[in-house]
Amino acid sequence: MRGVVWLDKNVTIKKNEDLPEIRISENTTKFLYTNRQGNRSALRISRVVSETIRLGLKNVRWFVMGDDDTVFNVDNVVRVLSKYDHNQYYYIGSSSESHIQNIFFSYAMAYGGGGFAISYPLAKELEKIQDRCLQRYPGLYGSDDRIQACMAELGVPLTREPGFHQYDVYGNLLGLLGAHPVTPLVSIHHLDVVDPIIPRMSRIDGLQRVFESMKYDTASIMQQSICYDKQKYWSISVSWGYVVQITRGNISPRELEMPTRTFLNWYKRADYTAYAFNTRPVTKHPCQKPFVYYISAAKYDRSKNQIVGIYHRHRESYPYCRWKIESPESINAIVVLKKPDDNRWQKAARRDCCKVLPSNNSYLYIWVGNCRAGETSEM
């Protein structure tokens, strides 16, 4: 992989800074821009695809574009793109989580913040027509809708990969990342807008904590598994490498795999109709507030070929519960055991299974891995 950071003006670079190649995008004053709500920089950003083509890089299969606030899981970018023939015309990405944004811009568009990929031959064709194409759409808002407009002229539709995440939301991403769909997590966007993904940590420190787990199994990061402690009557949801949630009572897998609305939509409203996917409300029942355990450390046990993740309970107040079901409050930490699974996406997609192992009063041990024959997430 080779990277170029495109800017619109020069920056001061210190010696020995480990940075990718930095280039200044071309002047776009000759192009008309008439959208009163947008910014002319959209023209420069959309043209960097063509400008990157003109660099003449050798042995290129794909061009992948993201914003300055996009975080990529590089291994999963490669896994997703390897499914497709790079010699064909492919425009790959995903829509916004916001139904309103998709209506306003387009459901046929790959959102630039979530990142998108263009195969090399398609990028070559785009470069031939892009400047003429841009002149025909002065009223569009951003760079990504301009790219899609030119794709429409080339007759190439969007190939959807839901692991590219635009995240046009505000607030806490726990509901989304704690119930990630069964697909590789490719990118996360708007991390400067949402809350830090681990409370009481900075945005960067929280990301680096998750990346500690990710380096042992990039394919499985944020993948959800669901199991039940049938003796204690607990429902357990594991988002591997990120968070474990324990809720009193039996909650069905159908409900647990649906994101909880811990976030607001792009217009800062708690409106469940505003999303382009199913969500569920944050429970108001005092006994069903989940106990949340965030990743605190991960290591690889070479002798057993397994990853050991330790998740500590997020300290917060809980309402009084009248149920006689045992509270998870005594569990201070959860240890999750899992074997690396680099080839999981070469098989039919399936959520991992998990199982509660013999534990003690303050530590809960959980196994996570491929479902064995006949194994399910039955309550």
- pTM score of the predicted model: 0.94
The CATH number that applies at residue 128 is 3.90.550.50
The CATH number that applies at residue 227 is 2.70.130.10
* Residue listed under structure tokens 């030119």: 150
CB 235 within 8 A of CB 249: yes
Q: Which of 120, 101, 127, 124 is nearest to 112 (CA)?
A: 101
DSSP 165-204: ----EEE-THHHHTTB-SS---EEE-TTTSPPSSTTS-HH
Distance from the Cα of residue 82 to its chain's centroid = 19
155 & 248 share domain? no
Burial zone of 142 (CB within 10 Å; 0-12 exposed, 13-18 middle, 19+ buried): buried
The total number of structural domains in the chain stands at: 2
CB 43 within 8 A of CB 148: no
* Domain-ending residue, one of 122, 148, 165: 165
Within a 10 A sphere around the Cβ of 102, how many other Cβ atoms?
18
Instruction: Tell me if 157 is assigned to some domain.
Output: yes
Task: Give the whole-angstrom CA distance, residue 74 versus residue 115.
Answer: 12
232 & 322 share domain? yes
Task: Give the whole-angstrom CA distance, residue 30 versus residue 187.
Answer: 34
Instruction: Tell me if 99 is assigned to some domain.
Output: yes
Per-residue pLDDT of the chain (379 residues; tens, 9 = 90+): 888 999 999 988 888 888 888 999 999 999 999 999 999 999 999 999 999 999 999 999 999 999 999 999 999 999 999 999 999 999 999 999 998 899 989 999 999 999 999 999 999 999 999 999 999 999 999 999 999 999 999 999 999 999 999 999 999 999 999 999 999 999 999 999 999 999 999 999 999 999 999 999 999 999 999 999 999 999 999 999 999 999 999 999 999 999 999 999 888 877 888 898 999 999 999 999 999 999 999 999 999 999 999 999 999 999 999 999 999 999 999 999 999 999 999 999 999 999 999 988 889 999 999 998 877 787 7
3-class DSSP assignment, residue 79: helix
Instruction: Tell me if 100 is assigned to some domain.
Output: yes
State the residue range of the domain holding 290.
Answer: 217-369
Paired with 239 in beta bridges are: 224, 243
